[in-house]
Amino acid sequence: MKYIVQISRVFTGILFIISGFIKLNDPLGFSYKLEEYFGADVLNLEFLIPYALGISVIVVVFEVVLGVFLLIGYKPKFTVWSLLLMIVFFTFLTFYSAYFDKVKDCGCFGDALKLTPWESFTKDLVLLVLILILFAGVKYIKPLFSKLPTTIIALFSFILSLWFGYHVLMHLPAIDFRAYKIGSNFQEGMSTPEDAAKAVSEYTWTFNVNGEEQEFVTNGSYPKVDGEYVGVETKVIDEGYVPPIQDFSIESDDEDLTAQFLEVDKLLIVAMYSIPKGELEGVNKLKTFTDNAKSKGYTVIGLTSSGPQDKAQIMQDHNLNFEFYLCDEKVIKTIVRSNPGIVILNKGTVMNKAHWNDIEDIEL
């Protein structure tokens, strides 16, 4: 039992640290995932949506710290109880999203590793078993060091996690796992290779045969049945190849200008998923920065999901010299974790991106 507990201790501790750090690297991204869970069509806890970011930071810091606590043997009973409560909560969420098909990706490993809901649930079940082993053998979890060094390491891990979370919120994620990271190309990300795997679907046809409804399953072809057609249901068995960049567009009121702008040599995008929710301090910096960019030959545009009235208001209030175009809110949130944020493209390739806090550091 002693050796099983130690193996469970190391595996669980490392997994919690890795999973927590990946989410701590991008707490805004995890907060967006929590907003999905809190939505009316999932858990119907919409009153928690305004607090999603705060909950996100608390959860991921706690996840990292608990992993460290477990490895160094700091307060074993508190640590194991906390791990048990956390994994029960996560297991419930992943089962709920998998069984009811509500959230397609749990966000367990942020954008670094995409897991299906059932894969996430299986992962949490394995962790639950390991933590139950730790719970049963908590007496075998001993500190690696004496009391003072163990306490110092525990405190340092907590302070470091809080600082790192604050740092990436005030700037951008230290590691960008998304399809819009620096060096990626939009056109390549949106394209599908000729030899890419195709989607596989299953069609369940219902026919009335001699007064009795019968089902016939095909891969899409219409079944040869001597009966009256009732209906058909489609189920995706394998999604095949899915381009990493989806739903990105740059649209005016009249046309789609995506292809045109992605061929521009020096394109500077001011990304604001929501104009009313934009950070005022950041918005105040846009006028000087974009005027300077234009003087150096950049084409400057804005991307937002906000309506015409909000666009006109920000242009008037801040005397901005560029036009805002329409793009999906979720896509803009994914492109840059800042509102406003700056993205610089060269013929569709991301050359630079920055939080509004770092506008002064961008070299044009």
Q: How far apart are the two ends of the chain, measured CA to CA in Å?
A: 62
Give residue-wise pLDDT tens across range 222-265: 998 888 999 999 988 887 888 999 899 999 988 999 999 999 99
Give residue-wise pLDDT tens across range 329-346: 999 999 999 999 999 999
Q: 151 is written with which tokens?
A: 């306490």
Q: 98 is written with which tokens?
A: 């998998």
Contact between 17 and 11 under an 8 Å Cβ cutoff? The reply is: no
Which of 276, 250, 274 lies closest to 263, judged by CA? Answer: 250
The whole-angstrom separation of Cα 38 and Cα 47 is 8
pLDDT at 108: 56
Confidence of residue 7 (pLDDT cuts 50, 70, 90): very high
Q: Which residue has the tokens 């048990």?
A: 84
pLDDT at 198: 85
The whole-angstrom separation of Cα 13 and Cα 305 is 41
The whole-angstrom separation of Cα 111 and Cα 268 is 25
pLDDT at 238: 80
Classify the phi-psi angles of 303: left when phi > 0, otherwise alpha if psi is within -120 to 50, otherwise beta: beta
Burial class of residue 70 (count of CB atoms within 10 Å of its CB; 0-12, 13-18, 19+): buried
The whole-angstrom separation of Cα 45 and Cα 50 is 11
The whole-angstrom separation of Cα 311 and Cα 276 is 10
What residue ranges in the chain does DSSP mark as E strands? 200-209, 212-218, 228-238, 267-272, 299-304, 323-326, 341-346, 349-355
Give residue-wise pLDDT tens across range 191-220: 988 888 888 889 999 999 988 999 999 988
- CA angle 262/199/177 to nearest 5° reads 50
The whole-angstrom separation of Cα 266 and Cα 256 is 19
The whole-angstrom separation of Cα 103 and Cα 90 is 13
The whole-angstrom separation of Cα 308 and Cα 200 is 41
Q: Is the pLDDT of residue 101 over 80?
A: no
Instruction: Give the pTM.
Output: 0.85
Q: Dihedral of the CA atoms 28, 32, 33, 39 (nearest 10)?
A: 150
Spatial CB neighbours of 259, under 8 Å, sequence gap ≥ 6:
none
The whole-angstrom separation of Cα 97 and Cα 95 is 6
Query: 114 or 356: whose pLDDT is higher?
Result: 356
